């Protein structure tokens, strides 16, 4: 079941549960804590299975016409079950309804880490297209791949 969460404490609790379980992607404490804190003020979409939260994503405005898929996580046991795609489709629908024309997402460039290669393939399968890679965002060891898509 996909749902929108508006309560800030619930947002932070769900984000913490999921991100702390995904250590391979969110191992840097400072970054993970920033995602959790910022989630409270963002559009928050969550997935539930058997009355437990198993995934979420947040949308953050980055411009008048652009929203960013700021953070997303699905518990490992639920990878490749369709939950990530359901979350993304709801996020896309929500962003369109909020009047955005474009969506972007940032991840580590393909070919650097196997776990992030799966993430890249997911975003490409959702319809994102490569915009550019910027090393200065996360450093040379973690080149930042920016993907974009039109919501029109």
Q: What confidence tens digit (pLDDT) does each residue in 94-134 have?
A: 999 999 999 999 999 999 988 889 889 999 999 999 999 99
Q: What Cα–Cα distance (Å) separates residue 121 from each residue in 15, 107, 147? A: 23, 11, 11
Non-local (6+) Cβ contacts of 67 within 8 A are 43, 59, 60, 61, 95, 98, 100, 102, 103, 104
Q: What confidence tens digit (pLDDT) does each residue in 53-76 have?
A: 999 999 999 999 999 999 999 998
- Concatenating the DSSP letter of every residue in 115-143 gives HHHHHHHHHHHHT-EEEEEEHHHH-TTS-
Q: What is the pLDDT of residue 107?
A: 92
Nearest to 103 by CA among 45, 60, 137: 60
pTM listed for this prediction: 0.90
Q: What is the pLDDT of residue 25?
A: 79
Show the domains of the chain with their CATH numbers: 2-150 (3.40.630.30)
């Amino acid at each position: 079941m996909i749902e929108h969460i508006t309560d800030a404490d619930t947002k932070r609790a769900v984000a913490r549960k999921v991100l702390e379980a995904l250590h391979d992607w969110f191992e840097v404490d400072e970054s993970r804590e920033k995602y959790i804190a910022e989630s409270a003020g963002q559009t928050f979409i969550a997935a539930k299975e058997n009355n437990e939260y198993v995934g979420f994503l947040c949308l953050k405005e980055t411009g008048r016409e652009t929203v960013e898929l700021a953070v997303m996580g699905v518990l490992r046991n639920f990878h490749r079950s369709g939950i990530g795609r359901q979350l993304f489709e709801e996020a896309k629908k929500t962003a369109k309804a909020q009047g955005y024309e474009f969506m972007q997402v940032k991840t580590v460039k393909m070919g650097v880490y196997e776990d992030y290669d799966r993430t890249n393939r997911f975003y490409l399968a959702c319809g994102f297209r490569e915009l550019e890679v910027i090393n200065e965002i996360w450093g040379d060891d973690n080149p930042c791949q920016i993907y974009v898509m039109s919501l029109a």
